[in-house]
Amino acid sequence: MPHPTSPATSSPAAAAAPDDPAALPALCDQLIHGRQHIGPRHLGEPAPDAHALDAILAAAAAAPDHGRLQPWRFIVLGERARPTLAQVFVDALLERDPQAGTEQQDDAREKAGRSPVLILAIADLHDDEADVPVFEQLLSLGCAVQNLLLAARARGYDSGLSSGRALRSRVLRRTFALGEHEHAVCFISLGTARRRKPMRVRPEVDRFVTHYDGPADGSSTP
């Protein structure tokens, strides 16, 4: 996708007339199938400004949410937060490996500054909701994240997800004031790809879809 000069004019969404329903399937396919993971170290400027980022984050609210629990939230880690995050990464490393050397600590610290926009996705899982099991709540978070990624792509930006053991560290939980039922799930990085790999081959539909037409013997009961 070309680098955006103005999200309003350079994105795939802007290319389709809003009053042309026939254009929507192709636009949808372009957004979904053209999305590609770009690692944080390969993301740079231009990146979403505050206005664009608000619109991108608003897309998360359209995710399916059984019971209206909103079992997730996002923390935007601005430039002033990066030194704190860098120390969190170092402390998380030392938490699991007290003997980690200077080079390992420097590598951990460097990760905090790799992408121009960095967002932490938090799951807030309500295990006392009998009608909304935890896996449905995680599904809602996944949909919210995907909405966010596609909204970023529609505005001409690239994205990537990253995880790691620091997400499960005590120091990260303490620093970002995670509640008892909250879990840091992943980081979302946004920006413009400075380097990209060839698109990976997606599995064919018949690899993950089967069709059930009832019992093989034709009976109406299992």
CATH number at 74 reads 3.40.109.10
pLDDT for the residue 21: 86
In a domain, 162, yes or no: yes
In a domain, 198, yes or no: no
Residue 164 has which token pair? 């790691």
In a domain, 197, yes or no: no
Binding residues are: 66, 161-163
pLDDT tens for each residue of 5-47: 334 434 545 445 567 888 899 999 999 999 999 999 999 999 9
pLDDT for the residue 7: 43
pLDDT tens for each residue of 61-104: 999 999 999 999 999 999 999 999 999 999 999 999 999 999 99
pLDDT for the residue 18: 60
pLDDT tens for each residue of 129-184: 889 999 999 999 999 999 999 999 999 999 999 999 999 999 999 999 999 999 99
In a domain, 164, yes or no: yes
**How many helices (H) does the chain have, and how many strands (E)?**
8, 5
Confidence of residue 222 (pLDDT cuts 50, 70, 90): low
Binding residues for FMN are: 66, 161-163
Residue 39 has which token pair? 């690692």
Domains in the chain, number = 1
In a domain, 157, yes or no: yes
* Cβ neighbours of residue 218 closer than 8 Å, sequence gap 6 or more: none
In a domain, 93, yes or no: yes
Residue 45 has which token pair? 């400027």
